[in-house]
Amino acid sequence: MTGVAATTPANAVAGLYSYPISGASFGVRSPIHVVTFYGSDFSVKIGLAHNTIDGGEETPSAMCQRTSGCVAAVNGDFFDVTHAGGADPGDEVGGIIRNCVLMHTPEISHAQADVDAASVSNGFNWSSSLDVNGTTVAITAVDQELPMSYVGVNVPLKGTLLYTAPYGLKTPTGRGRSTYEFQSLGGTAPPTTINATAQLKYLGKTARAIPVRAGRVDVSAPVGSALATLSVGSTVTLTTASTSGCDSIGGSPVLLDEGVVEPVNPADTYLAAPFARTVIGWTASDETVIMTVGGIDGREGATWTQLDAILQYLDVETALDLDGGTSTTLYADGHLVYPTARSERLVSTSLLVVQNP
């Protein structure tokens, strides 16, 4: 291994290594920082801004500081930024499963990382449905803001949309739609726990935009849905399933998958040009590697080919590119490592390195 000089790793937390490297031999002049750990003393958790879905934005360091055992943090998935002057709810783009609970389904086709299994995929596997008097009603999206616009994508309000208490906005409204409100019955598991069922008691419907109350599940559906046949007090069964793991977050693109360099569209200017980057990856020996590359959009940083080369030097075999550019942030050892010349950008999600008890 040649060309990447590393300083002596910092050991402010035993077993966690945080250090800068040089990528000059790969043509990268921007600062590169790496956080690594082995074994079961640490784990990667998903941080949510204000602990909500679509509930605003927060810095990765703030998410880390209020999380017990957190010793490092980087920014997470891409998110929707609304027009100037408008409220910015930080609408997440990809899927989110946290602590085995489905919290957000992807806005668009998006890559994912299962941070527990150290694996990546080019899609998000999930399903959810309601059994309403023997009729199966498929859920189109979970805790997803619609209509949604992101990088020229406009997703219209349609289908059967399910919302739970962590959703930070009000339920959507639209002509020809109603919101059906349910009480979650029995047990302490959240209603969208994956590979499980939940019983819901029907409370009534409304055409108004309403916040989702604690212990409730709200379903926005077209008029004429099977939900319209429900009587107040009757129960339905919610079934949610996924093979995407208990802690899954989105990103794009998959860079490496079990040693194979994933093909990337060379016409993708964001990937072909140098940008600041945030990456999570794993080696064959189960070392977790989190890396940030500093930069200025389109002028300094790393291209995807440079990222692949540096990751392979670090023996990373599986890796996902997370949000980058001005979102790129690394907080470790109790201080902001990157950026150093400006304040952190507010983001929607983060990845937190947590010391296990």
DSSP letters along 9-23, please? PB-SSTTEEEEEE--
Q: Is the pLDDT of residue 45 over 60?
A: yes
Query: Rounded to whole angstroms, how far apart are CA atoms 350 and 64?
Result: 9
Report the pLDDT averaged over residues 88-98: 87
Please give the DSSP secondary-structure letter assigned to residue 158: -
- For residue 224, what are the CA distances in angstroms to 77, 131, 135, 159? 36, 16, 13, 12
d(CA 160, CA 234): 19
Lowest mean pLDDT segment, chosen from 26-35, 89-98, 222-231, 241-250: 89-98
Mean pLDDT of the region 92-118: 95
Q: Quote the pLDDT of residue 23.
A: 96
pLDDT for residue 3: 45
Structure-model confidence comparison of residues 311 and 148, the more confident one: 311
350, 109, 148: which is closest to 253 by C-alpha? 109
pTM of the model: 0.94
Task: Give residue-wise pLDDT tens across range 21-43.
Answer: 999 999 999 999 999 999 899 99
Question: What was the pLDDT predicted at 254?
Answer: 96
**Residues 269, 285: Cα–Cα separation, whole Å:** 33
98 or 148: which leads in pLDDT = 98
For residue range 154-201, list pLDDT tens digits in order. Answer: 677 889 999 999 999 999 988 999 999 999 998 889 999 999 999 999
Q: How confident is the model at residue 103 (pLDDT cuts 50, 70, 90)?
A: very high
From CA 10, how far away is CA 291, in angstroms rounded? Answer: 15
Selected residue with higher pLDDT from 343 and 277: 277
Mean pLDDT of the chain: 91
What pLDDT is stored for residue 159 in this prediction?
93
Indicate the burial class of 279 (C-beta count within 10 angstroms; 0-12, 13-18, 19 or more).
Answer: buried
Q: What is the structure's pLDDT at 283?
A: 98
Q: What is the per-residue DSSP string for 294-355?
A: --BTTTBSB-HHHHHHHHHHTTEEEEEE---GGG--EEETTEEEE-SSSPPPPBSEEEEEEE
Residue 88 has pLDDT above 90, yes or no: no
Ordered alpha helix ranges (H), the chain? 60-65, 269-272, 304-313
- Joined tokens for residue 204: 């009534």
User: What per-residue confidence (pLDDT) applies to 6?
Assistant: 47
Q: Tell me, what's the pLDDT at 80?
A: 81
Could you give the CA distance from residue 210 to residue 13 in angstroms, rounded to a whole number? 45
Question: Residue 172 in contact with residue 201, Cβ under 8 Å?
Answer: no
Query: Sorting pLDDT into bands at 50, 70 and 90, what band is 212?
Result: very high
What whole-number percentage of the chain has pLDDT above 70? Answer: 91
Residue 109 has a pLDDT of 86
Which pLDDT score is estimated for 137?
98
pLDDT confidence bin for 220, thresholds 50/70/90: very high
Res 186: pLDDT:
81
Residue 168 pLDDT:
92
Which tens digits make up the pLDDT trace of 15-25?
A: 899 999 999 99
Check whether 2 has a pLDDT greater than 50: no
Residue 12: its pLDDT value, please?
59
pLDDT band at 108 (very low <50, low <70, confident <90, very high): confident
Q: Give me the pLDDT at residue 341, please.
A: 67
Output the pLDDT for position 16: 94
193, 154 contact by CB (below 8 A): no
> 290-346, pLDDT tens digit by residue?
999 999 988 999 999 999 999 999 999 999 999 999 999 999 989 999 998 678 999
How far is residue 265's CA from residue 261's CA, in Å, rounded to a whole number? 13
